[in-house]
Amino acid sequence: MSSIAPEAPLYIKVHTADNVAIIVNTGGLPEGTVFPCGLALTEHVPQGHKVALTDLPQGEAIIRYGEIIGYAVRPIAQGSWIEESLVTLPTPPELEELPLATKVPAPLPPLAGCTFEGFRNADGSAGTKNLLGIITSVQCVTGVVNYAVKKIKTELLPKYPNVDDVVAVNHNYGCGVAINAPEAVVPIRTIRNLALHPNFGGQVMVVGLGCEKLLPEQVIPGHDKSSILVLQEQQGFSKMVDAILAMAEARLLQLNQRRRVTCPVSDLVIGLQCGGSDAFSGVTANPAVGYAADLLVRAGATVMFSEVTEVRDAIHLLTPRAVNEEVGRALLREMKYYDNYLALGQADRSANPAPGNKKGGLANVVEKALGSIAKSGSSAIDGVLSPGEKASQKGLIYAATPASDFVCGTLQLASGIHLQVFTTGRGTPYGLAMAPVIKVATRNALAEQWPDIMDVNAGRIATGEATIEEVGWEIFRLLLEVASGRKQTWADHWGIHNDLCLFNPAPVT
C-alpha cells in the first residue's frame, strides 16, 4: 500500500480468503474506477464500504477477516457495492461446542524498565490523577452535590494546587429498586468499586439523603463515618452545602500533600473500548490498540477489553486463547448471561450495530465483532470479570460489559482503569472525568475534521503512511505521558466528560 499515491484508488483486503474489500478513499469511489489489479467498480462505493472482489451467487458466504460475516441475499456481481441489505446475518457460534485453551499464545518477551509518574496510595495501588471524589448513595441528592461541587471548584480548589479536580460520582440508583434481588449485586458492587477508584487516593466522601435503600455506609463499608454526610440531618439547603464544603476541605488538605513518584507500568490498569465504529476500526485503530495492549501486557500491566455483544460473534476466536479451561468457561459464562439478558428483553444481537456504524460500512454485528476483538492484541486471556468487578490480576482481562459507551466506561472505571483508549471511526467527543480517555481515529478524514478532539490518527495505516506497529508504539508512549501528567487528552483539555451510567439488570420497583 505504501507505494500507491494517496490519491490513487485504494482498497483494503484483510485476509487472503476474503472475497470483499473496503474502499479507503475519502468520499468513496465512483462507478468505473479501475484499481491497479484490474478490478472495476460497477457503481459508486462509499468510503469504508465493501466491494465484491468476485462474483457472488445468491447464498454465497461473504468473507472478511477470513471469517464468514453473512450470506448474499441475491447474486452480487464483481465490482458491486455490498451494502447491508444484501447480507444476511449468520448463526452465532454455539457456545457449548467451542474449544477452550487449545491455542494459548506463548508469553511475549518482557518489556522491562517502563515507568510512569503516579500517585502512590496507602493500599499500594497508584493513581494517574489526584482527585477528590464525592459519590452519592442515591440520585435524589445529585442536585445538591452538583451545586456544592461548583462552589468547591471556584472557592476551595484554587487553594490546593496539587489536587487536579473534584468529581461528582452521580448515578441513578439507590432507591425505588429491588435492592435484595440477586441481580442487584451488579449496580451495588459497581458503586462500591467506583468509590474505591485509585485516582481518589482513599479520600472519597459519600453524600446520602437518609431514607434510601442503598444506605451510605453500604457504599463504603468499613470506612470512618466522618466520610458520610446525610442531607436529611442538615438544617436547610445552605447548611447542606456548607457541610459538604467543610468535609471536602478536610480531604483536599490530605490530597494536596500527594506528589507524583516513579511507578512501574505494572501498576497501571488500562481499559480498551470502541464507539462510533466503522469498517476501518478493525484494520487501523483496533489492531494498533491491540499492538499497544501487547506492549502493556509485556510490561506487566493489566489490560481489559469488554463489550459482550461486540465479542459474542467472534468468541470462537477468543476461547482458544484462554490461558486455561477455567478462564475459557468464564468467557462462556458471560456470553450465556448476556444471551439470556437479551432474550428476557425480547431483543437479540441484530440490535447492534447502530445506524452510524452501518453508514461507516459495518453490515452487521458479526463484522463489527471481528473488528472489535482486534483491540485484544495477541496475548493469552488471563482472566474474566463479571460486570462491575474490580481487577485483581495482571495481564489481558476480559471485563464483561454492555457495548454502550457510557455503561462500558462506567463498569471499566469500577474495575479500576486508570486510563481508557477509545477508538472511533464515526467520531464522538466522549470522555470520563475519573480517568483520561485517549481517542484514536480510524480514518484520516476524521482526524482532519476533529484535530482538537482526536488524540491519535490511526487512519495513516490505511493509506500506508504508518504501520500498525508504529501507531501501536505511539499509543503506548502517549499512555505513559498521560498517566504521568505530562500530556493531557483533548477530552480533559476541554472538560468533555460524560455522565456515569450504571448497568442494572435487577428490577426497578
Task: Give yes or no: residues 255 and 177 share one domain.
Answer: yes
Domain of 134, CATH number, reads 3.40.50.2300
* Type and span of the H or E element at 237: helix 237-255
Strand-pairing partners, residue 268, are: none
273 SS3 class = strand
Task: Give yes or no: residues 65 and 170 share one domain.
Answer: no
Residue 110 lies in a domain: no
Residues of the domain holding 460: 269-494
If phi over 0 gives left and psi between -120 and 50 gives alpha, with beta otherwise, what is residue 90?
beta
pLDDT over 60 at 5, yes or no? no
pTM exceeds 0.75: yes
Task: Give yes or no: residues 203 and 79 share one domain.
Answer: no
- How many domains does the chain contain in total? 3
Task: Give yes or no: residues 157 and 57 share one domain.
Answer: no
Q: pLDDT tens for residues 328-358?
A: 999 999 999 999 999 998 887 788 888 999 9
Task: Give yes or no: residues 337 and 286 share one domain.
Answer: yes
Buried b (16+ CB within 10 A) or exposed e, 136-165: bbbbbbbebbeebbebbeeebbeebeebbb
What average pLDDT does the segment 234-238 reach? Answer: 96
First to last CA, the chain: 58
Q: pLDDT tens for residues 379-409?
A: 999 999 999 999 999 999 999 999 999 999 9
Q: Strand 20-23 relative to strand 11-12: parallel, antiparallel, unpaired?
A: antiparallel
Q: Which of 265, 264, 271, 480 is nearest to 396 (CA)?
A: 271
CA within 13 Å, CB half, 374: 25
Task: Give yes or no: residues 470 and 349 share one domain.
Answer: yes
- What local confidence, expressed as pLDDT, does residue 3 receive? 44
- What local confidence, expressed as pLDDT, does residue 337 receive? 96
- What local confidence, expressed as pLDDT, does residue 223 receive? 74
Q: At which of 73, 90, 107 does a domain end? A: 90
What is the rounded CA–CA span in Å between residue 369 and residue 70?
Answer: 13
Q: State CA 158 to chain mean position distance.
A: 32
Tell me the Cα Rg of the chain: 24
Q: State CA 135 to chain mean position distance.
A: 22
Q: Which of 307, 199, 303, 284 is nearest to 454 (CA)?
A: 284
Q: Strand 67-72 relative to strand 87-88: parallel, antiparallel, unpaired?
A: antiparallel
Residue 505 lies in a domain: no
Task: Give yes or no: residues 248 and 281 share one domain.
Answer: no
- What local confidence, expressed as pLDDT, does residue 221 receive? 84
Task: Give yes or no: residues 364 and 489 share one domain.
Answer: yes
pLDDT range class, residue 374, cuts 50, 70, 90: very high
Task: Give yes or no: residues 254 and 168 share one domain.
Answer: yes
What average pLDDT does the segment 401-428 reach? Answer: 97
